[in-house]
Structure 1
């Protein structure tokens, strides 16, 4: 798979503050790559350097195996901060102005408006748009020159639940078209729902990177309930039990490596117990994220 972005020892200091510290990352073609971290972790500074808005203190990065240049940047669309549109112009006119600035063909405007579902509102003034619509217009603007890579900085920040859902669905639609997407977020749920890969930053340093679908791999936790008075003792007697917690009226059984929920179910069945509730719980990205931060 082609490497779209390669970052080597990228560092940015603001005086004594190490905003980004020796960052090493690779993003492959077609990935939806989430840069995850609390506020102040260096996500926005990193994106600023990648877009040549912020000068690195040291380190290098390359796009498509090339050093940054005007030719390379034309392959990248970005929504870094609150976009600037003219409130008294409609969506169509604002995009026409953006085409003039970017020197791209205005024939692409109907396509991007359709993609972000603003065709019917294209003749309405920008100031009448909801926050979610404004964000969708910004993404449309970033897609005008049909870039290979789309960069989004906190794309759902400040949106209501419906606006968040709309942006997530839009990101999925763009990804299906084969574009590589890099997004920064402090929202774990956002990254888990739309990203294929993610990196965790803490105080400017990379502390974890990997595929999102590997979250939760490892030892299983099984939530169990049964109409038996001594269920706790019975579960403890199972050879695959590592530990047990009581939570919300159910027993949370952490299994040893090599044991699965079906083994526990078989064990209970052999003891004449039919579980009224037995569910394998995947470790959420939130839990893994907190564990990663605690370990670093």
Structure 2
């Protein structure tokens, strides 16, 4: 049984319980509980000001929580435990007139990790050819890749990235996303914060959605597109049942409290149904969308709705 328990602890990389951070009267993070398992690429999705960066700051020991706690690998976070975590939080400090190689040598010294790791991380982030060029000649995407290389210097178990593609051009964004997938394929657990649903869908396996410091959703990424809309319709028409069944967007219908619940096929919405009824000479006395797709809900949250 102890072995089973140990394995359970091992598969949980990060466990957050009721984590709260208050700045004066503002609750930046409100009673957050989350679990990140080994091998996941876990996205923290939310608009700016939703508490993502504050949460990452607490996890890295840069910000003190007001309440609640968390464990890394089933242990209370200590300096030793945090050595297993690589993070790119703010723009890291690199010297503009030193080469990429020299900057990493300095970082390796500060982190007390072997200089022998440098060629490997440079190859991984595809900067090996440019290692002797001065940092100031690097594009924004290259600078971000060097920051990720620096975070990987001590071969951490977990990599934390805060808005990894912020400010990059489309090519730079694509490169970083490919790199994240490559690092994940090597078996590392990745936690990344983003305000882009697209980014989370493309690189993450699981994600949580934060709104004003509160968790509003957590689950696997592949659930996002699922869940069709259900439209509730009422109209004074004898043959409403048949007309609704004749609509191309109807997947199924049921009757509830004098109105019809129409489950829509993917890509069809209430406005399409309304138009169809109108063309058939039926004016709906009641027509509301009951369930939105997750994607739509998230886009509204991200837009600050």
TM-score calculated relative to the size of structure 2: 0.77
Aligned-partner Cα distance in 2 for 1:117–1:137: 9
SS in 2 for 1:117: coil
- Residue 238 of structure 1 and its aligned partner are, at CA, apart by 5.9
- Of 66, 70, 77, the residue aligned with 1:68 is 77
Distance 1:65 1:133, change over 3 A: same
Distance 1:291 1:131, change over 3 A: closer
- Residue 217 of structure 1 and its aligned partner are, at CA, apart by 2.4
- Residue 216 of structure 1 and its aligned partner are, at CA, apart by 2.2
Residue in 1 aligned with 2:56? 47
Distance 1:235 1:105, change over 3 A: same
Does structure 2 retain, via aligned residues, the 8 Å contact 1:243–1:254?
A: no
Confirm whether residue 253 of structure 1 aligns to residue 268 of structure 2: yes
Residues 224-261 of structure 1: CA deviation (Å, up to 9, x unaligned): xxxxxxx999426967262679xxxxx94369xxxxxx
Q: RMSD of aligned C-alpha atoms?
A: 2.7
Residue in 1 aligned with 2:215? 206
| 1:5-16 matches, cutoff 5 A | 5-16=14-25
Residues 74-128 of structure 1: CA deviation (Å, up to 9, x unaligned): 1000000111100000000000000000000000000000000000100000000
TM-score calculated relative to the size of structure 1: 0.80
Distance 1:96 1:252, change over 3 A: closer
- Of 191, 195, 200, the residue aligned with 1:191 is 200
Confirm whether residue 113 of structure 1 aligns to residue 125 of structure 2: no
- Of 137, 155, 168, the residue aligned with 1:159 is 168
Residues 5-50 of structure 1: CA deviation (Å, up to 9, x unaligned): 0000101000001000100000000000000000000000000000
Aligned-partner Cα distance in 2 for 1:239–1:134: 50
Unaligned runs of 5+ in 1: 222-230, 246-250, 256-282
- Of 45, 55, 62, the residue aligned with 1:36 is 45
Residues matched between the structures, number: 255
Aligned-partner Cα distance in 2 for 1:207–1:98: 38
Unaligned runs of 5+ in 2: 1-7, 231-242, 254-261, 271-291
